[in-house]
């Protein structure tokens, strides 16, 4: 039990030494570290760990090697990862079948298994060190501090990497001084709109009340987003520390984590972290011998996208239906159970310990004039290096997509990137050299959002993209206000008609009018931004909408009702594999006579075709095309 700040300093120093010895091999052991993020766990990382432990026991080498599991390494498309200290050799795409070779070659005979090293696509060079891989070179970890390095279920490893040093400094300052430090850092909320966090804290601090609350918004609902989940899985104590600093600053005694139930690994590790902090005396009453008392509580969300909106989230915590509240009053004045409440998302709170530990200047020196620090993105879609990325604000989209992301697979052309999830918009090639920051993305017709970044290539239908996001919004609308409930439904109906070849040019006018109406009249920010994917695709890809309406064609060959499959008679050899695989029976044998030779061929009856694509998959000569 740590009873005061001096005991915390002493114990943290011991943890730092022990952790340093582990990483440098001074303890006389080799340490095998495995990625324990959701992506790698779903790809058999646990089975790989079990195999390591089994072979270590069988070969009786436990005295010189330990196996441990950490959080996400970030480079998800190359997982599962295995990293070996002290050499820091990084193996990627590891399977259970590779474990014995790693044990025999690397652990026992000190020989690197070169076939499991990352191969740089530009130089074809094999790279053994994580920091030498291009994916990591332009990143800077602040919110992701400790992720992929520490065991998230061991508080001593977190202490070894500086956990609660920020809290210790905060407790030596007045509450207003802590808020001033956050204000000076320039940090803006990482959950969407980018409101200055220090100002939000100041509002809550200024309200007189016997009870105040801090809420962590972990209800990450954007399609393709996994930033908050990875932070909670990789270093939950950093978020707890950020919440405690916020609680101290505004005078709150209780904090609530609101995390969606679909994140069982994050939830479990958060529970473990809270329990360990309580057992160590860092959470609870009279923390570190001061008059500050604070407790963390956990509430699970049922997966409603609207509960990412802060007032709907508060309703859900209170046991009510998750629907937005009218504002004002704002939560900082009247929030959870009618008391002053500050709501920050996971990434924002994960940055707070760095600000208090290293100082506001260290944070504000990174980024741009109006967007300080770093931003975590979940980079996905048509990009080679799918994964979790943390870059300084001001990094360009080109650097994000082509340097860190490795460019577009299969030599395809870049078409657009959707930032901000369903609330964001599509940015095209002309914006690739634009710096990433809150205000600049909004000015270009998109937004930062929580950090989803979906890359699209030349084979993407932008009308279908708008329809996809509108389907999501319609499903997730809480239905409280009619502009969102009805307006998004009408937009989806129009988009569906267009993708089915039944649209008219008037539909484009109706889409634009509906977009403005929904934006201007919806109750909450989710409804107000619901039309962004439609307006941005209409602005940058209007020609695709016109092709669907006028030419009755989908240029990307995605919209099924506008596609036709054809057999190239010059390539067809009459093998019949396409007809055998056709579930609709729409491919019939025909004959034609090229240059006097009578040969069998096949023809597709388009009136019967269900456009499943099985004929293309069956044809070995690629004689079937769609247009």
**pLDDT tens figures, 74-109:** 999 999 999 999 999 999 999 999 999 999 999 999
Q: pLDDT confidence of 330, banded at 50, 70, 90?
A: very high
pLDDT in tens, 232-250: 999 999 999 999 999 999 9
Residue 571's pLDDT is: 86
Span 453-483, pLDDT tens digits:
999 999 999 999 999 999 999 999 999 999 9
Is the Cβ–Cβ distance between 256 and 239 less than 8 Å? Answer: no
pLDDT band of 593, cuts 50, 70, 90: low
pLDDT computed for residue 525 by the predictor: 87
**Mean pLDDT lowest among 57-66, 208-217, 571-580, 587-596:** 587-596
- DSSP secondary structure of 140-190: --STTTTTTTS-TT-HHHHHHTTTTHHHHHHHTS-HHHHHHHHHHHT-B-T
Beta strand 82-85 with 89-91: parallel, antiparallel or unpaired? antiparallel
Give the residue from 353, 526, 151 showing the smallest Cα distance to 363. 353
Which residues neighbour 101 within 8 Å (Cβ) at sequence distance 6 or greater? 113
525-548 pLDDT per residue, tens: 889 999 999 999 999 999 999 999
Instruction: Using CA atoms of 288, 71, 128, 410 in order, give the dihedral in degrees to the nearest 10.
Output: -140
**Domains parsed from the chain with CATH numbers:** 27-85+89-128 (3.40.30.10), 155-364 (3.40.50.11540), 374-457 (3.10.20.600), 462-551 (1.20.1440.230), 564-626 (3.30.70.3270)
Mean pLDDT across the chain, nearest whole number?
93
In the chain, pLDDT over 70 holds for what percent of residues?
98
SS (H, E, C) 513-558: HHHHHHHHHCCCHHHHCCCHHHHHHHHHCHHHHHHHHHHCCCCCCC
Residue 336: which of 467, 454, 429, 213 has the closest Cα? 213
Q: Are β-strands 374-381 and 452-457 bridged in parallel, bridged antiparallel, or unpaired? A: parallel
pLDDT grade for 560, boundaries at 50, 70 and 90: confident
Task: Please state the rounded mean pLDDT for residues 558-580.
Answer: 87
Output the pLDDT for position 564. Answer: 85
214 has which bridge partners?
A: 255, 342
What radius of gyration, in Å, describes the C-alpha atoms of the chain?
27
What is the distance between the alpha carbons of residues 138 and 392, in angstroms, rounded to a whole number? 8
């Amino acid at each position: 039990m740590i009873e005061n700040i001096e005991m915390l300093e002493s114990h943290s120093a011991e943890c730092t030494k022990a952790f340093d010895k582990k990483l440098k091999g001074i303890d006389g052991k080799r340490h095998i570290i495995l990625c324990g993020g959701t992506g790698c766990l779903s790809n058999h990382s646990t089975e790989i760990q079990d195999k390591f432990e089994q072979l270590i026991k069988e070969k009786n080498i436990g005295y010189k090697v330990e196996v441990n599991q950490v959080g996400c390494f970030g480079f998800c498309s190359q997982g599962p990862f295995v990293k070996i200290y002290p050499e820091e050799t990084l193996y990627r795409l590891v399977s259970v079948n590779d474990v014995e070779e790693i044990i025999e070659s690397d652990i026992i005979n000190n020989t690197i298994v070169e076939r499991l090293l990352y191969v740089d696509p530009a130089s074809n060079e094999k790279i053994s060190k994580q920091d030498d891989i291009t994916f990591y070179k332009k990143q800077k970890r602040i919110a992701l501090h400790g992720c992929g390095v520490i065991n998230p279920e061991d508080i001593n490893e977190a202490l070894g990497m500086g956990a609660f040093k920020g809290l210790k400094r905060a407790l030596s300052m007045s509450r207003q001084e802590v808020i001033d430090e956050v204000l000076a850092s320039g940090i803006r909320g990482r959950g969407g709109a980018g409101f200055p966090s220090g100002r939000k804290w100041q509002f809550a601090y200024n309200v007189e009340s016997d009870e105040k609350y801090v809420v962590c918004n972990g209800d990450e609902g954007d399609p393709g987003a996994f930033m908050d989940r990875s932070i909670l899985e990789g270093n939950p104590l950093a978020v707890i520390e950020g919440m405690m600093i916020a609680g101290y600053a505004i005078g709150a005694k209780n904090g609530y984590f609101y995390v969606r139930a679909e994140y069982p690994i994050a939830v479990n590790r958060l529970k473990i972290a809270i329990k360990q902090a309580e057992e160590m005396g860092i959470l609870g009453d009279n923390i570190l011998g001061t008059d500050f008392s604070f407790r963390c509580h956990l509430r699970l969300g049922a997966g409603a996208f609207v509960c990412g909106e802060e007032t709907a989230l508060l309703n859900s915590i209170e046991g009510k239906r998750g629907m937005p509240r009218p504002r004002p009053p704002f939560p900082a004045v009247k929030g959870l159970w009618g008391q002053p409440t500050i709501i920050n998302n996971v990434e924002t709170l994960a940055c707070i310990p760095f600000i208090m530990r290293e100082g506001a200047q260290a944070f504000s020196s990174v980024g741009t004039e109006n967007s300080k620090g770093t931003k975590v993105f979940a980079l996905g879609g048509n990009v080679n290096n799918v994964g979790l990325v943390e870059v300084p604000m001001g990094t360009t989209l080109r650097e994000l997509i082509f340097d860190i992301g490795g460019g577009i697979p299969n030599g395809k052309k870049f078409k657009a990137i959707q930032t901000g999830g369903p609330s964001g918009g599509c940015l095209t090639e002309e914006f690739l050299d634009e710096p990433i920051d809150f205000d600049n993305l909004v000015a270009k017709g998109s937004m930062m959002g929580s950090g989803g970044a979906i890359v699209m290539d030349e084979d993407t239908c932008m009308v279908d993209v708008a329809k996809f996001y509108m389907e999501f919004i319609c499903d997730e609308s809480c239905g409280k206000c009619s502009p969102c409930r009805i307006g998004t439904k009408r937009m989806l109906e129009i988009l569906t008609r267009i993708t089915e070849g039944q649209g008219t040019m008037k539909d484009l006018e109706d889409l634009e009018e509906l977009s403005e109406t929904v934006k201007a009249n919806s109750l909450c920010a989710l409804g107000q931004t619901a039309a962004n994917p439609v307006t941005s695709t209409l602005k940058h890809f209007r020609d695709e909408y016109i092709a669907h309406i006028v030419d009755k064609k989908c240029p990307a060959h995605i919209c099924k009702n506008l596609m036709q499959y054809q057999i190239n008679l010059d390539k067809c050899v009459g093998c019949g594999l396409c007809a055998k695989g056709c579930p609709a029976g729409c491919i019939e044998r025909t004959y034609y006579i090229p240059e006097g030779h009578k040969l069998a061929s096949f023809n597709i009856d388009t009136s019967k075709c269900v456009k499943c694509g099985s004929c293309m998959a069956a044809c070995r000569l690629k004689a079937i095309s769609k247009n």
